[in-house]
Amino acid sequence: MVTKALRRIVGDLTGRSHRRTLDLLSGQLEATLKGVDLAVDLAAGRIPPAAARTLMGDVEHEGDCRRAELVTELSVILTTPIDREDLYRFSRSVDDVLDNLRDLVRETDLFGMPGDPADLPALGAVRDGLDALRVAVADLLVDPRRVQEGAMTARKAAGRVRREYQLSLAALFRQELGTDTLSRRELLRRLDVIGLRLNSAAADLSDALLKRGH
């Protein structure tokens, strides 16, 4: 027990604990990026809905494992690069992005709908936002100013998701009403929620930096 405590102290003093925490967070973001890429492949018609749904289960499991490791790490280390609760909140918001990507893919299959290329611009914006957050997390111990810039980039990307959702919804409402129209409306709403969760993740990271005084 003493040895573990000493290791934690040494890890904190040398910065290893902080680096491990951020590596776990980066791993969670990498898994979420895989989820976006899978949704992109579905929308582009490169993979059928049923296969995408199966593969998404593996991606979600990976993301959940990284988050579980992070939560465990936060419960034992003595200090964190930013407030412990803020790290947890940010991780939860990233998890919400992946959960809604999972639901987008699963509902596409459940509704018997094909992937829609019209979703590609919105999904591209989601990927841009997540990538900005991944880079921001990597910069957290080096340059807090770049972290704020990354969070702002992610929030702008989330705004692009909302605009693409509105454009797609307007186009849908110009079509004749049918069962497919209602199914498509639900999938578009799911896409919009992904953008909202991305915005929440970016806001969580930005707020954490402000609390730390940067």
- pLDDT tens profile 163-207: 999 999 999 999 888 889 999 999 999 999 999 999 999 999 998
Structural domain span for residue 15: 2-212
Average pLDDT, the chain: 89
**CA separation, residue 50 to residues 47, 64, 107, 140, 177 (Å):** 8, 21, 10, 39, 26
Q: How confident is the model at residue 211 (pLDDT cuts 50, 70, 90)?
A: confident
Query: How many domains, in total, are found in the chain?
Result: 1
Is there a contact between 123 and 46 (Cβ–Cβ < 8 Å)?
no
Residues 6 or more apart whose CB falls under 8 angstroms from that of 18 comprise 12, 79, 80, 81, 141
The pLDDT value recorded for residue 146 is 87
pLDDT above 80: residue 1: no
Residues 6 or more apart whose CB falls under 8 angstroms from that of 203 comprise 151, 155
Is there a contact between 208 and 86 (Cβ–Cβ < 8 Å)?
yes
Please choose, from the candidates 159, 128, 150, the residue with its C-alpha nearest in 3D space to the C-alpha of residue 205. Answer: 150
Q: How confident is the model at residue 13 (pLDDT cuts 50, 70, 90)?
A: very low
Least confident window among 5-9, 14-18, 61-65, 208-212: 5-9
- pLDDT tens profile 123-167: 999 999 999 999 999 988 888 788 899 999 999 999 999 999 999
Per DSSP, the three-state class of 34 is helix
The pLDDT value recorded for residue 5 is 40
Q: Average pLDDT in the 45-58 region?
A: 98
The pLDDT value recorded for residue 166 is 98
Centre a 10 Å sphere on the Cβ of residue 101 and count the other Cβ atoms it contains.
29
Output 47 or 139, whichever has higher pLDDT.
47
Per DSSP, the three-state class of 160 is helix
Q: Average pLDDT in the 71-88 region?
A: 83
- pLDDT tens profile 56-76: 999 999 999 999 999 999 888
Per DSSP, the three-state class of 118 is helix
Residues 6 or more apart whose CB falls under 8 angstroms from that of 8 comprise 17, 76, 77, 78
Q: How confident is the model at residue 78 (pLDDT cuts 50, 70, 90)?
A: low
CATH number where 42 lies: 1.20.58.220
